[in-house]
Structure 1
């Protein structure tokens, strides 16, 4: 049996892993986490998928308890600004498209909609909630979307049946600290020390990690949560890193914590705002914003990027320290080698354009539990795990490249060359389909990667990849039902805007 796990590295990846293993296996597995006190923290805010709800429910944590401790907010979707033309925006929401007579509302919009306006205004309720800064919960805590609330229990990403309407923004450092308390209360051994060496046996597997003050730490399974350093998986186990720079050239970021002049003016969405050599994020936390500029240093220097970011933010950025970050964009050839598994940045990272960082961590942990080994170390478990990790990252990579290939901007060298960068062959086929008719479950990336067909179509249509006409079949159908559904979407949106509190108003009630 595998009785002991040693996690090297803390942060979000380390403490999410430790807490989940304890929730899954309780005292049947001994878990030790060692982290250095000298590792710097970014702390500018983190955005998530709506499926992160499964993680917190698996741990038995109530949102009203942990979210205020993490300066948290709600995320109904992502607002993309200036990706096509200055001043234009559209949303990628957590909302599946409704279906009328066998065709989605997006199909019907191509036939009936006003193409002078972004399609999301007609097809989603979430758009109205975002524009009006509404909370997804009423003041009594009830969810605006009936039938979706309630505790999921010990469910996983694979069991997601309904689209939950929101995700979270939170201070990732605060969440890590909260999960550290959860984990240590349940028996995780926490060691604050520097790892000075990694010892391997005759097979090349890890036998010991040596620390400066606590001696040797032994275990059966070792988990690398050391971030871009890859101390175990790359430096000790020899995993080869495969860069995505040929298709996703953004390799740096500069981040700031920014106070809001009016704290109550809080957005219930993440913003992704196009800039001269990349894009700028805005993540609203309860009393401040986390913001940053993701860019390619082929087109702009770090100093120039910081200056452009500060200029965009105006006086709110004055006196705020900037954190410059180098990003390793790509993945290792394997996430699991021998008795070492890499989770988080040590395995893979793509730029945070679709908030996939926490999702990658959650998926890695869930799949590790499902593929957890015994003393036979069945290689088929390892191989299957690696295949699943590979597919998830490759699917997200394709989806992100779509953002740049579809963007209509051509006002700087960065955006002009975005159209000419290398494109995965499979994505070229999908783009050709999307220019003819909407993508479906058979034509999006075929393996699980966290995004459904509505996400692919929301981005394609939002960016301007719009078929000239609807599917021919739609023209032969009576449009009456579709017209009624469009009217229903508008009416429901207006009703929810009137009934729901602002996102700040509701969060203030649970932060008291």
Structure 2
């Protein structure tokens, strides 16, 4: 094709479908209709609505879409997120349960050495967590402060932040915006996919036959379109990441409770439990290995973890297909979202992967003078992104010293299934993790700084032989604490920010 196709059909709504539709409409048609973009969604399959935490890059997507941040937050019951608090991922000590925080911010500049080396060489791990020593976000999260005020511009704040967001309401909000901007929408049930080789020729629904130049599969785990083109296109991550089920329970806040500014990931016997605080309710869930326990056992373990709340919504049980497609783009069909792959939500990357899929497709789709090259480039990049993310998630598990259940015993061995990670861990026993250790990969969010928070949060400290000036070292780390205290004085409480946010719409 010498010109981009003139029509594009997306199958499936929810966050994946509507983010893709809205982004492509903005990318291709902002200055005039060039491509007819339409979306069909099933009346029977609503959005899963569980993945409610995000990473900070989602702000850049929403900004690129031209969305009003305050309106977005109000209509989706969103709160601000500074990072993730990990609890109980190692055996408890005399000081209590194991805990560390993974924030979004860039680490502070240091003197002769980088800040991680200064913190390690000064043996600060003997008296504080790594995140407490080198980041400002940890103190703000501990004190319930917001990352921004109502005076900040959209998508800007004191520190990098993400959101806790109602996924169902987000889908509805994006749907309204996409339709307002010209995306065609209909409710239909796909009955058949007609194809010749690796080319879709038509989609048959309960309302007729649909044709387009290009098709995007946002149908979730079913992969209705992409699977019709290749039935041997799946790479499972079950060996490296065995958690393949989840149970979710929503609860109201107790009297006097206010939303936290961080996601909580608490290790349980056979997986881990999340806590995500929205403006109007709390989302809880348990991600677990179905080879270890049944859904009924998982639900009871989650309820016990929550203290058996008297009032809560009915539990929602989910099966998850963990892995990725070998090829996300085949012929004239592309898979985005759950139809392309899934990695357990430990680092809140679901919307981020949709964002990347849509953005990369837009740039590659423009180069239709050589479609085979564009497809190969896209597939290589998306495969690399999933593989790099898998390595980062395995890192969280393989460093544990927990051996109290079969799940955690297997978690220690998960490094064996992740090529190259054992070698990296050995290197990081002798020096700090740095950018060049990960260079050449495809990570777009998690860099050496993120790896450090997990490595040192999980007590994987290198043995450094550095000659530091103790007074200079102490002053450097104290300056970070002073900066955090000063920022805390400027920041308002998170619940005050939310109150002001919703008052503005009254």
TM-score in terms of structure 1 length? 0.92
The residue that corresponds to 1:119 in the other structure is 130
Q: Distance in 1 between matches of 2:304 and 2:66?
A: 43
Q: Which of 354, 363, 366 is the equivalent residue of 2:359?
A: 366
Where 2:384 maps in the other structure, the secondary structure is helix
Equivalent residue number for residue 500 of structure 1? 491
User: Which deviations, in whole Å up to 9, do the C-alpha atoms of 1:431-488 show, x marking residues without a partner?
Assistant: 1112222111111363232211110011000011112x32x3x31x434443222111
What is the deviation of 1:493? 1.3
SS at match of 1:390: helix
Aligned Cα root-mean-square deviation (Å): 1.9
Distance 1:496 1:409 in 2: 37
> What displacement does 1:255 show?
0.5
Q: Tell whether the 8 Å contact from 1:4 to 1:220 is kept in structure 2 after alignment.
A: yes
Per-residue CA deviation, residues 275-328 of structure 1 (Å, 9 max, x unaligned), is 000000111101211110000011111111000001111243644200000000
Q: Give CA-to-partner distance per residue, 1:79-138, whole Å, 9 cap, x none.
A: 101111342211010112223234222111111133233221111111101111110113
1:108 aligns with 2:113: no
| Cα separation, 2, equivalents of 1:373 and 1:494 | 48
Task: Give the Cα separation in 1 of the matches to 2:152 and 2:51.
Answer: 24
Q: Distance in 1 between matches of 2:223 and 2:370?
A: 22
Q: Which moved more, 1:428-437 or 1:11-20?
A: 428-437
CA distance in 2, matches of 1:374, 1:387: 16
Who is 2:180 aligned against?
Answer: 185
**Contact 1:257–1:291 (8 Å) recurs in 2:** yes
Per the alignment, residue 67 of structure 2 pairs with 61
The 8 Å contact of residues 255 and 290 in structure 1, kept in 2 or not, is answered as: yes
Structure 1 residue 85 corresponds to structure 2 residue 91: yes
- Which residue in 2 is equivalent to 1:267? 260
Q: Which residue of 2 aligns with 1:208?
A: 202
- Alpha-carbon offset, residue 423 of structure 1: 2.9
Partner of 1:73 in structure 2?
79
Contact 2:401 2:412 in 1 (8 A): no
Give me the whole-angstrom Cα distance separating, in 1, the residues matched to 2:385 and 2:307.
38
Structure 2 portions without partners, runs of 5+: none
Tell me what 1:430 maps to: 424
TM-score w.r.t. the length of structure 2 is: 0.93
- How many residues matched? 490
Q: Any gaps of 5 or more consecutive residues in structure 1? A: 151-162
**Cα separation, 1, equivalents of 2:143 and 2:188:** 48
User: In the alignment, is the contact (CA less than 8 A) between 2:14 and 2:46 conserved in 1?
Assistant: no
SS at match of 1:24: helix
Partner of 1:483: 474
Q: What residue is the counterpart of 1:419 in the other structure? A: 412
Cα 1:377/1:9, change in 2 over 3 Å: farther
Q: Distance between the aligned counterparts of 1:366 and 1:224, measured in 2?
A: 15
> Equivalents in 1 of 2:113, 2:278: separation in Å?
38
Q: Is the 8 A contact 2:51 2:350 kept in 1?
A: no
Partner of 2:243: 250
| Partner in structure 2 of residue 329 of structure 1 | 322
Whether the 8 Å contact between 2:199 and 2:331 is mirrored in structure 1 is: yes
Query: Match for residue 458 of structure 1?
Result: 453
Once residues 410 and 359 of structure 1 are traced to their aligned partners in structure 2, the CA distance between those partners, rounded to angstroms, is 33
Distance in 1 of aligned mates of 2:112 and 2:409: 39
Q: What's the counterpart of residue 301 of structure 1? A: 294
Query: Is residue 44–residue 257 contact of structure 1 (8 Å, CA) maintained in 2?
Result: no
Compute the displacement of 1:502 (Å).
Answer: 1.5
Q: What residue is the counterpart of 1:25 in the other structure?
A: 28
Check if 1:36 corresponds to 2:42.
yes
